[in-house]
Amino acid sequence: MLDQNSVAHNCEAVVLHCIDFRFNEEVDNYFDKRFPEGYDVISIAGSCKGLLNDEEHRKFLLEQFQISYRLHHPKTIALVQHEDCGAYGGSKNFSDTDAEQKFHQEEFQKAGKLLSGDFPEMDIKGYYAKLSREIATLQ
């Protein structure tokens, strides 16, 4: 019985995404399909921005990833950036949608590099949620 409970207590992934309500439904639907056994969610305005630009936020987020890892043993970290993110000044801060996506691609790469130092055994994946309700993968 105890063993069954502890197995049921493992999840596939830990997902970091922004607080922005406009993307909750598409992000939930997407990861419900991708990680049907379940996933932990960490939500903070700007997603990767918290890892990269603010020491207190980075400390807080690394702690959240560690708690998820310790309690639920996820194998994947999913970092979700999104279009028109207010924490980055919104779409108006970029010359066009390609430039915006490219910027978020770079944010993902930097955050992934940072996290791979602390979680070398985890697979780190990046996603970009668009207002069109598509989710693109970041490399």
Distance CA 24, CA 123 (A): 23
Min dist CB 45 to Zn ion, Å, is 6
Identify which of 136, 82, 49 has the alpha carbon closest to the alpha carbon of residue 91: 82
Q: Which of 11, 13, 14, 20 binds Zn ion (CB under 5 A)?
A: 20
Under the binding rule (CB under 5 A), the answer on residue 107 touching Zn ion is no
Report in angstroms how near the CB of residue 12 gets to Zn ion at its nearest.
24
Does the footprint of Zn ion cover residue 84 (CB under 5 A)?
Answer: no
79 lies in the site for Zn ion, by CB under 5 A: no
H helix runs in 19-121, sequence order: 24-34, 48-53, 55-72, 97-118
**Where do contacts with Zn ion occur on this chain (CB under 5 A)?**
18, 20, 85
